[in-house]
Amino acid sequence: MALHMALKNSVKTSNFFLKLHSSNVKILQSASICICSHLENSHRTDIVRTNRSVYPRTYPVTLVQSDGSTTTIRYAEPRKIIKLPLDLEKVSATVKEERLRLRRPKQKLIIQEDVDVDFNVEDYEDLWKK
């Protein structure tokens, strides 16, 4: 009898909460238990406040994607533009070969100079004679 009354009271309670907060109440039908979730609106400080110990300064930056489209994002460092790399899987074979060729290290040219020593002291004697 007590169980029947408890279930009856819980159903009344759940119907009451359904009328008040129909979108914010979850009812477990099998146990007839009412669980009320809190209202989430602009008046709650938990939603508005960012839970961080450090609030980083962010700067508006233009992000250029590989297809050429641009968006404005917030970035930690003050930059004007950030360009994303080209996706080599989506481009043609010639563009891919050119990009890969530019990435390879360039070969250093070794220049050997042939130095011929043709120093003649007599050509400069007039500089130290008085």
pLDDT per residue rounded down to tens, the chain (130 residues): 555 555 455 545 545 455 544 444 444 444 445 555 555 655 555 555 556 667 678 899 999 998 889 999 988 889 999 999 888 888 899 999 998 999 899 888 888 888 888 888 888 888 886 6
Whether residue 36 lies inside any domain: the answer is yes
CB neighbours of 84 closer than 8 A, spacing ≥ 6?
A: 63, 64, 65, 66
Supply the range of the domain harboring residue 31. 2-40
Render the burial of 110-122: b for 16+ CB within 10 Å, e for the rest.
Answer: eeeeeeeeeeeee
| pLDDT given for residue 26 in this prediction | 46
Rg (C-alpha) for the chain, rounded Å, is 39
CB neighbours of 40 closer than 8 A, spacing ≥ 6?
A: 47
pTM: 0.37
Whether residue 18 lies inside any domain: the answer is yes
Q: How many domains does the chain have?
A: 2
Cβ–Cβ under 8 Å, residues 66 and 87: yes
Whether residue 82 lies inside any domain: the answer is yes
| pLDDT given for residue 104 in this prediction | 92
